[in-house]
Amino acid sequence: MASPTEKAISFFGTVQRVYNLFSSSTNNWEVYREMVKGTTLKQLSQTRWESRIASVKPIRFQAVKIQEALFYLAENSDNLGHRSEAGCLAESETHGIGRFEFLFGMVIWYDLLYVVNTVSKSLQSEDMDLEAAIVQLGGLVDYLKGYRETGFEKAKAEAMQIAIDMEIEPGFSSKPKRLIKRKKHFGEDAEKVDESNQLSAEESFRIDYFINIMDQAIVSLGVRFEQFQRYEEIFGFLFGLKRLKSAKDDE
């Protein structure tokens, strides 16, 4: 089974392949413009948050139209390579956008990237100070902790609606995953190590993918939050002097 990192790479790899296909020729781009109006595909960047959210957003909100455009290229493109790639991206069980797991991950990634990018852009503003940055980062960490607890069901409902609109099965269909058997330690509850317990495909996705992604994001941003707090403890008085210097006499 693919690891969370491998699944993330596969997800963003699919996003990039969609962009590559439509931007590879004038004809393909014209098909996209004609069938998917009001949005433009963006190339995926490995470094800029804003570019990542921009690359995911069109597929997040135009998945139905983009899949229709892919089907059109799969049937009508004069380029055999493009026809094959379009068909794969339209409905492949491993790399296509017409998979429920892809749609589910798409909603999760969009929600995560959106809030991170919003705070990131705010922190880059010229008038941002340490105190405000700490408030912003603290709020972001709290939001992600809340999303970890309640976001899975919300994302699933949104993914199911997109799947219905795309006329694909709105749920996981793979076989249950058997829990790994391990040796029971003295005094341990037998139910926790019962090899007959199984994880459904949905529960496996929640634990192995969703929870893993959220925990990594929370830890990473938590470290940044603590760094800003230490900076404020050391250099905060400088920003206090700056505000004092610019204040009016009565203030």
Give the pLDDT confidence score for residue 120 in this predicted structure: 80
| pTM for this entry | 0.78
Q: Which of 3-17, 42-56, 148-162 has the lowest mean pLDDT?
A: 42-56
Give the pLDDT confidence score for residue 236 in this predicted structure: 54
- Phi, psi of 102, rounded to the nearest 5 degrees: -65, -45
Position with higher pLDDT, 177 vs 84: 84
Express each pLDDT in 154-170 by its tens digit: 999 999 999 999 998 88
- Short-list 66, 70, 158, 64, CA closest to 109: 158
| Cβ atoms of residues 197 and 179 within 8 Å | yes
What would the 3-class secondary structure string for the chain be?
Answer: CCCHHHHHHHHHHHHHHHHHHHHCCHHHHHHHHHHCCCCCCCCCCCCCHHHHHHHHHHHHHHHHHHHHHHHHHHHHCCCHHHHHHHHHHHHCCCCCCCCHHHHHHHHHHHHHHHHHHHHHHHHCCCCCCHHHHHHHHHHHHHHHHHHHHHHHHHHHHHHHHHHHHCCCCCCCCCCCEECCCCCCCCCCCHHHHCCCCEECHHHHHHHHHHHHHHHHHHHHHHHHHHHHHHHHHHHHHHHHHHHHHHCCCCC
Position with higher pLDDT, 176 vs 51: 51
Give the pLDDT confidence score for residue 81 in this predicted structure: 96
Position with higher pLDDT, 94 vs 251: 94
Residue 234 has pLDDT above 60, yes or no: no
Please state, in angstroms and rounded to a whole number, the distance separating the CA atoms of residues 86 and 17. 9
Express each pLDDT in 57-112 by its tens digit: 999 999 999 999 999 999 999 999 999 999 999 987 778 999 999 999 999 999 99
Give the pLDDT confidence score for residue 150 in this predicted structure: 95
